[in-house]
Structure 1
Amino acid sequence: MFPHPEDARYWVSGQANIIFQGRLPFHSLYEGTNSFRNSAEYKTSMVGTAYTALRRDRSVRYNTDFIFDVESAAGRGLSQALGLAGFTNLDVVRNPNLGSTPYVARCQIHQVIGLTGQTTSQEANFFALAARVPERRVEFRVGKMTLPDFFDLNSVGSDSHLQFMNWTVDNNGAWDYAADTRGYTVGGMAEYDDRAWSLRYGLFAMPTVANGIDMDWAFSRAHAQNGEFELRKSWIPERKGVTRLLFYANRAHMGTYREAVQAYLTGTDATPNIIAHEHFGALKYGFGYNTEQELTANLRAFGRFGWNEGQHESFAYTEVDQTVEGGADYAGNRWHRPQDKVAIAVVSNAIKRDHQNYLRLGGLGFLLGDGNLNYGRENIVESYYTWHAWKGLFYSIDVQHIDNPGYNRDRGPAWVGAVRTHVDF
């Protein structure tokens, strides 16, 4: 809405994102405690963020940024954000009892150490204020942050404010990244950037319980390690392309699906209950592949693949053990609206046999639990059109089709439509 001064030592901006979603009734043989409800329903969510940052001085080679953001999240998701691995609205806070009281979203120190006098330009933003940075450099960040700000980025499929809305389209669903209920954690990361590639690694706090708001500060027993290699290389001459390889390893107070199922089958537990079989220091690990490629001046394609070991409970993000997705967006230059975009993405999510058995016998995850399960992959198609109305004001129409919601062939398919208003100021 208002231009930001170029090369300023400070940053003050904000955003508001309002999503109205509705669901049509769909076929369902039964429902459980954590089911995606089959009746017609509509819900509205709103997220507002105030971004502030201060640059210590105008040094390019040794630059320091201080970042502080305040956020408020209000409204609810369809079915209280339960019943889908690929939920339809990334803005939804999964515990609506937290309310809309503003909270500190990010509080970081960002340090750049240049390894060469040669510089390159970058678009200044609320994570990094310098308009020019050394071509080869090391960057450090420490404080409160959300991992998708820096890992698994994708310019076609990462922005729930202007692009797709589904959890497993905007992020790799099999990446159980460290986060509290609102999506934030505390820790530190280091990144090495060269002309054509980058390497980043971070160590972060894990929640005390699955999808919990409180973090376990005993890093010796609970922590998340994340690493990523990024190669900025295009497979088409004179077009942009990026490939990213991600790995993660979480240690936390987690249980295993097989142990919970065995305790139920032997009569030790009245119902499958993974919480009763959690152990400190349990290890969950996985990896992800992320690619994006500019095909023409207006058309871009992207894809992701994710896998985790699937034996330990889904703990922080969502209940996915394997995911594969692909999609594309197209800019509106041909109809003289260069900031408009139309896009489509397809994602297929899966869980492993022990996870399936746990849900089939009536176990509950922090998202899923129909009371039974006739297993099938959860397949989602999402499409949107984003219309640039004026300066920082955008409107979007979004449609999602979910086949086998919650991996259950006895339910669905479900259709979800949405209207989104987004403003940057």
Structure 2
Amino acid sequence: MIRPLPLSSLATLVLLLAAPAAAQTIPTRAPADATRAVAADPAAAPADAGSDARFAVHGQATLVVQATPGFASPYTGANSLTPRQAKETADVTLYAGVRLWRGAELWTNPEIDQGFGLSNTLGVAGFPSAEAYKVGRRAPYVRLQRTFLRQTIDLGGARERVAGVANQVAGWRTADRLVLTIGKFGVGDVFDTNSYAHDPRVDFLNWSAVDAGSFDYAADAWGYSTGVTAEAYRGAWTLRLGAFNLSKVPNGEMLEPGFGQYQLDAELEHRHRIGGRPGALRVTLFRNRGRFGRFDDALALAARSGEPVDTAAVRARRTRAGISVNAEQTLTDTLGVFARAGLADGQVEPYDFTDIDRTAQAGLALRGAGWRRGDDTLGAVVIVNGISRAHQRYLDAGGLGVLVGDGRLPHPGAEYIGETYYRLAATRGFDLSLDYQHVAHPGYNRDRGPAEIFAVRLHEAF
């Protein structure tokens, strides 16, 4: 249910929550928005991690202001990024959880949202703000983003203390375990996670930095779905399986109610140590099944009928699949590196995420201990996104994708993105980030750009 609130009320609430606080219950480095979190170093765990808590309440508030100056734009289409604009997004989330019985947690995440992404979240396949939903609103509104039940079944091994953070009740668990989750939550809460690039509220903002751009994960227009997952932890290995509802139509606000259109996910993770320092490697596969259109079919129909090219006119029951690899490695006490690469079927239209058929990224995150700012973080990433020849022909004929479509594409090219941010930990729980992105060939169009994008982000976790 969406319930409007006065704009002044949300702005006031965000600014109040973003004000520096004297004391907080969440460590500055704790994930701001995840379905699970564990203290990797027991000695560094919060004070509440040693007890089995019954109830937990946390929250967050994030304000992002993003702008782009002028850039080359000889022509535009319905889904183009336009120059000389500034937009803001704001959200406030409550994380309320209760331990029902041993190993079982019930969580709900009501959220207040407001604002727009640049060009109403259009124009770049690797869109520059993952805090911008595909649904923009001028007036704040309330939406229930997550409600899920998670059951953890201990199977033995070393005992681990679990930090009390957003969507995780403080307590204990064993290294070997089975974790079952059912309800409404994000595919990215469980799959394709990364310690350095996965949370736009505290690290990178770009869509194709926080997830593999080709991972067409099931989601409504806000990025959440209904489904079930199972995770089996055994030693250094984890196997994850999941089934989720797709939206009723591509990029839609409404989800399928009963897996009429669905996604199946699988992920294998291996955790390791190199030189005594932790790292992980994950391989993720997805398979979407629903009513999708093929680009060449849409082009052929338009040539016969004289109507505008549109994949909606040729949708039929089809499958679209993809695979991605995700790696992270701690190199020193202050430096970590990460990389992702992914590939998806480029003959069939993407459904719920964005217009990317292949992607690669590499980046680093550096803590500020070297300049006596131990809780600050400097991050940098380079990303290359691409699409198939059929996808290029479709856009050149005037077709529109999930996010991109300049009306024509006579000179296609890969989308090159560089992003860097500096996150200043002002006080415990509150941080200020400055972010810069360089986007060459936005929407795969060599005739447009490059676009320089600047952002300021305020974030408070409590």
Query: TM-score w.r.t. structure 1 length?
Result: 0.95
Shifted more, 257-266 versus 91-100: the winner is 91-100
1:227 paired residue among 266, 271, 289: 266
Deviation, 1:119, is 2.0
1:12 and 2:34 are equivalent in the alignment: no
Partner of 2:132: 92
Which deviations, in whole Å up to 9, do the C-alpha atoms of 1:355-384 show, x marking residues without a partner?
100000111113111011110000000000
Q: Does the alignment pair 1:256 with 2:291?
A: no
SS in 1 for 2:354: coil
Paired residues, number: 416
What's the offset of the Cα at 1:37? 0.7
For residue 140 of structure 2, give the secondary structure of its aligned residue in structure 1. Answer: coil
How far apart, in 2, do the equivalents of 1:274 and 1:97 lie?
27
Give matches, 1:21-420, under 5 Å: 21-38=66-83, 40-57=84-101, 59=102, 63-97=103-137, 100-116=140-156, 118-219=158-259, 221-234=260-273, 236-266=274-304, 268-279=305-316, 281-373=317-409, 374-420=411-457
TM-superposed deviation, 1:3: 2.0
* Separation in structure 1 between the aligned mates of residue 164 and residue 57 of structure 2, nearest angstrom: 12
Aligned partner of 1:2 in structure 2 is 24
Aligned equivalents of 1:218 and 1:258: distance in 2? 30
User: Contact between 1:10 and 1:55, CA under 8 Å: does it hold in 2?
Assistant: yes
- CA gap of 1:173–1:117, structure 2 versus 1, over 3 A, is closer
Q: What whole-Å deviation, never above 9, does each CA across 1:253-281 have from its counterpart, x for those lacking one? A: 21111100111122x241111111111x3
Partner Cα separation in structure 2 for residue 49 and residue 81 of structure 1: 21
> Per the alignment, in what secondary structure is the counterpart of residue 232 of structure 1?
strand
Matched to 2:266, the amino acid is G
Distance 1:131 1:146 in 2: 23
CA deviation vs aligned residue, 1:288-318 (integer Å, no higher than 9, x gap): 1000011111110000001001111111011
User: Structure 1: where are the runs of 5+ without partners?
Assistant: none
Q: Which amino acid is the alignment partner of residue 35 of structure 1? A: S
Deviation for aligned residue 1:98: 8.9
What percentage of residue pairs aligned between the two structures are identical? Answer: 34
Tell me, which stretches of 5 or more residues in structure 2 are unaligned? Answer: 1-22, 27-47
* Residue 33 of structure 1: how far off its partner (Å): 1.1
Letter in 2 for 1:15: Q
- The answer as to whether partners of 2:106 and 2:149 remain within 8 angstroms in 1 is yes
Shift of 1:247: 0.2
DSSP-derived class of the 1:168 partner: helix
SS of the residue corresponding to residue 116 of structure 1 reads: strand
Q: Distance in 1 between matches of 2:448 and 2:162?
A: 48
What's the CA shift string for 1:214-273, capped at 9, x where partnerless? 112242x41100110110013x2111110000000011221111100111122x241111
Q: Post-superposition shift, 1:192?
A: 0.3
Cα deviation 1:97-134 (Å, max 9, x = unaligned): 59531111111111111222642233333333243212
Q: Quick one: distance in 1 between partners of 2:351 and 2:139?
A: 22
Shift of 1:162: 1.1
From 411, 418, 422, the equivalent of 2:459 is: 422
Equivalent residues of 2:99, 2:106 under 8 A apart: yes
Supply the AA of the counterpart residue of 1:384.
Y
CA distance, structure 2, for counterparts of residue 307 and residue 204 of structure 1? 20
Distance 1:90 1:269 in 2: 37
Check whether the contact 2:299–2:394 (CA below 8 A) recurs between aligned residues: yes
- CA distance in structure 2 between the partners assigned to 1:97 and 1:285 by the alignment: 32
Change (3 A) 1:273 1:126: same
What is the distance in 2 between the residues matched to 1:98 and 1:355? 33
Q: Structure 2: how far apart are the matches of 1:351 and 1:97?
A: 30
- CA–CA distance in 2 between the matches of 1:262 and 1:97? 37
- Conserved? CA contact 1:208–1:252, under 8 Å: no
Report the TM-score when normalising by structure 2. 0.88
Which residue identity does 2:25 align to in structure 1?
P
Equivalent residue letter for 1:376: G
Question: What is the rounded CA distance, in whole Å, between the counterparts of 2:129 and 2:158 in structure 1?
Answer: 42
Between the aligned partners of 1:189 and 1:130, the Cα distance in structure 2 is 21
